[in-house]
Amino acid sequence: NYTHFGYKTVKTEEKAGRVLDVFSSVASKYDMMNDVMSGGLHRLWKDRMIQKLNPDNKAVLLDCAGGTGDIAFRFVNYVERQHSQFTDHPNVTVCDINNDILEVGKSRALERGVSLNWVCSNAEELPFPDQSFTCYTIAFGIRNCTNISKVLQEAYRVLRPGGRFVCLEFSHVSNPILSKIYDTYSFQVIPVMGEVIAGDWNSYQYLVESIRKFPAADEFKQMISNVGFKVVAYEPLTFGTCAIHSGFRL
Ligand code: SAM
């Protein structure tokens, strides 16, 4: 069985290992590179994701492919800001396949004095019982997984009825002129930035290719519905460079 690793075709069982190498290699520079490559826009996209999730003070979150905790920290801030009557610390689990990335996240949490649960696991086989969470988020992670449908099935399984799934991911620019500009930027500028700033052309080339290979927004919406989620919808961001897909387990 073969699958895509960017534009390369690799054995399915090799993809997770290769993705692991990519993120281990970018771990220490990961947060800074996000800012540089997106011109800071990823912060606004992530804020919008949490706004859309609009968690209450009883929310129990699983942030999958949670990396260095960007979504988890935003979630905690949001709940604490919106619910001043809040007494307990929000219940948040960050799960990622890569321990190097999680270690960076744990240090950030220590610096901020935020207590989160950190679990190293593949999003395709989560080590949590059925119906453990009320919210499931995944930001810029699902396109790196080998089997997207398995990730979605697992998201559905671990959510309680009434639970919400929200996914932020790169998407496709539909305007042909903007799409050309975006293509030039991603294929010619991002790998160069990766090399100059992080000394790592290949990892950033992979990131660009993986974005191009990810399904279009409507196709992805259908995949989410196929595993059982209801009221599935998406919101394009910044001319369709990204999209927030959401759905409920009813
Ligand atoms: N969600 C974070 C954010 O938005 O800043 C991190 C996004 S980062 C681009 C992608 C993350 O997905 C990496 O930390 C990587 O280790 C993780 N990842 C890749 N494949 C995964 C898998 N199969 N299961 C869980 N995490 C995975």
DSSP 83: -
Number of domains in the chain: 1
Instruction: Assess contact for 126 and 51: CB atoms under 8 A.
Output: no
For position 61, what pLDDT does the model report? 98
* pTM (predicted TM-score): 0.91
Range of the domain at 94: 2-248
Pocket test for ligand 1, best of 144, 150, 158 (most atoms within 8 A of CB): 144
Residue 239: helix, strand or coil by DSSP?
helix
- CA-to-CA distance for 200 and 189, rounded, in angstroms? 13
Task: Indicate if ligand 1 lies below 6 Å from the C-beta of 65.
Answer: yes
For atom 6 of ligand 1, the residue with the nearest CA is 67
Range from 19-33, 53-67, 116-130, 207-221 carrying the lowest mean pLDDT: 19-33
Give pLDDT, residue 191: 86
- Ligand 1 and 140: CB distance under 6 A: yes
For residue 123, say whether it is annotated as part of any ligand binding site.
yes
Is residue 200 part of an annotated ligand binding site? no
Ligand 1 pocket member 145 (CB < 6 A): yes
141 pLDDT above the threshold of 70: yes
CATH code (residue 116): 3.40.50.150
| 124 Cα–ligand 1 center, Å | 12
Q: Band the pLDDT of 215: cuts 50, 70, 90.
A: very high
* pLDDT for residue 163: 98
Cα–Cα nearest to 165, from 121, 229, 216, 221: 229
Q: Is the pLDDT of residue 87 over 80?
A: no
pLDDT of residue 239: 93
- Residue 120's contacts (CB-CB under 8 Å, 6 or more residues apart) are 95, 96, 97, 98, 99, 102
Residue 167 CB–ligand 1 contact under 6 Å: no
